[in-house]
Amino acid sequence: MKEMVLKPIGIVRSEVSEPRRAGWEQVTSEIIVDESLTESLDGLEAFSHIIVVYWMHKVFYAGLPRGKIHPQGREDLPLVGIFATRTPYRPNPVGVTVVRLLKRKGNVLRVVGLDAIDGTPIIYIKPYIPRFDSPPHV
Amino acid sequence: MKEMVLKPIGIVRSEVSEPRRAGWEQVTSEIIVDESLTESLDGLEAFSHIIVVYWMHKVFYAGLPRGKIHPQGREDLPLVGIFATRTPYRPNPVGVTVVRLLKRKGNVLRVVGLDAIDGTPIIYIKPYIPRFDSPPHV
């Protein structure tokens, strides 16, 4: 199979410059989309929320990745597999987050709740549509 | 910046072998996770739904990618930017889907609603948690 190489489509601008575990809900940041892709955003402003995939360029493994972790770093909680948690320490340092879209102006998206630090490469944006993205009977 | 290269963590096994536009809701398929990552799935069986990111290895652009498209291929609908749609024709051939988890057995996840054909590389799995993934007031 060919290598799976991602192209950045934009970058995050945020006052948060170092990774942190929590407290992202109220963070407002900007996604600066590559200017060559500006028209690809046309119509996105009609949506209140969007799904963003990004590359956690500052997440590195301390040694080998572990298969199991204590959720939230709490050693009083039993070990579970990393895929059963939301840890950033994964085989691929990718993040997937639903954020609120405050405003689109040209190639700039102003969003709330994106848990990505300043300088994070963006690789994917699509509208959040409850019919597809919010299953019933969870 | 270093290249953003994804590692496959598993592969899709499905009776659907060619890309199609719709009709995925009832498709049952299996995600065969790499055996070296089996314990990383421990605990995932507690969740009814999971978020899956995959690499659409059979999506190719016919010519240059376009910035705008007619949604659902319907020429009676006005052109919108690709990021405002759910089209697979994007700068990165990545798919993000919420699926129902029927069963986990060892390194095999049996799921419903994954819109990925047989042989699709899987790059990311996490539990679907409404508190994070289903925003209010959409």
Provide the residue ranges of all domains of chain B, joining segments of one domain with +. 10-17+25-57+93-131
Q: What is the CATH number of domain B10-17+25-57+93-131?
A: 2.40.30.70
Per residue in A61-104, pLDDT tens? 545 567 999 988 889 999 999 999 998 889 999 999 999 999 99
Q: Name the percent of chain A lying above pLDDT 90.
A: 76
d(CA B58, CA B120): 8
Q: Give me the amino acid identity at A31.
A: I
**Contacts for A131 with CB less than 8 Å, ≥ 6 apart:** none
Q: A82 to chain B, minimum CA–CA distance in Å? A: 5
Chain B residues in contact with A91 (beta carbon < 8 A): 7, 9, 37, 123
Contact A101, A36 (CB under 8 A): no
Chain B residues in contact with A61 (beta carbon < 8 A): none
Predicted-assembly ipTM surpassing the 0.90 threshold:
yes
Q: Is A134 within 8 Å of B129 when comparing Cβ atoms? A: no
Q: A76 to chain B, minimum CA–CA distance in Å? A: 16
Query: Scanning every residue of chain A, which has its alpha carbon at the shortest distance from the alpha carbon of B10?
Result: A91
Instruction: Give the pLDDT band of residue A128 (cuts 50, 70, 90).
Output: very high
Using a 10 angstrom Cβ sphere, with 0-12 exposed, 13-18 middle and 19 or more buried, the burial of residue B84 is buried
Q: Is A96 within 8 Å of B132 when comparing Cβ atoms? A: no
Per residue in A19-71, pLDDT tens? 888 889 999 999 999 999 999 999 999 999 999 999 999 886 545 567 999 98
Contact B11, B122 (CB under 8 A): yes
